[in-house]
Amino acid sequence: MYSTDKRWKQLGDLLVNYSTEVKPGEQVMIAMVELESYPLMRACYEAVIKAGGYPQVQFLSETLRRSLLLYGDEEQLSWVPEIEAHGMEWADVYLGLRGAHNLAELWDIPANRLSLSQAANGKILVLALVENPLVPGARANADFAQQAGVDLDTIMDMFFNACLLDWPAESAKYQRLAKALEGADQVHITGKETIFAFQSKVAGGV
């Protein structure tokens, strides 16, 4: 569970001090989804403390959710967890740290039961979006590597290389691109073995 990879601390610092800009006194809900998220959760927790914030950790799991979906009655499936909902209202910032899990975890759950649970979870998500800045983040692990058909070291390097960019510089680059596209109603992108074009719908257009 504990990881000595220093890149987790770099990513935690990025999420807390750049993505959400946690201020002293702010309350931060950190949702740790699956045990694999522990290294990133710990990094975020420490970064929030150093930023002067108040972190609270919540553990979520699709494996646990499967138990609810298998054995719960309709009232339980429709239940919106009060403590989780209160956490959304309490928090100034929400960090959702998702760990990879078996994509077929819920393969045998009837659609009507899954729908009830999804509706309940949707109410929690609405609270997250309305009440505080929301930063979802997935982390790579052995399951990700298996799904991608590569080894664990490779998927971890790909993950960190994608996350630990110079984001202020990237943001400036995206702003330049956005400015270049202002007023345009057609976009044409050409790359190696790729031609992609689309046209925006404008007044009087198609």
> Is 7-179 a CATH 3.40.1830.10 domain?
yes
Which residues make beta-bridge pairs with 95? Answer: 30, 135
Per-residue pLDDT of the chain (206 residues; tens, 9 = 90+): 566 789 999 999 999 999 999 999 999 999 998 888 899 999 999 999 999 999 999 999 988 999 999 999 999 999 999 998 898 889 999 998 887 667 778 889 999 999 999 999 888 888 777 766 666 666 677 777 777 788 888 988 998 999 898 988 999 998 998 888 787 788 888 888 888 888 766 544 43
- pLDDT value at residue 77: 95
pLDDT at 205: 44
Q: What is the 3-state secondary structure (H, E, C) of 84-127?
A: HHHHHHHCCEEEEEEECCCCCCCCCCCHHHHHHHHHHHHHHHHH
Sign of the CA dihedral running 61, 64, 69, 73 = negative
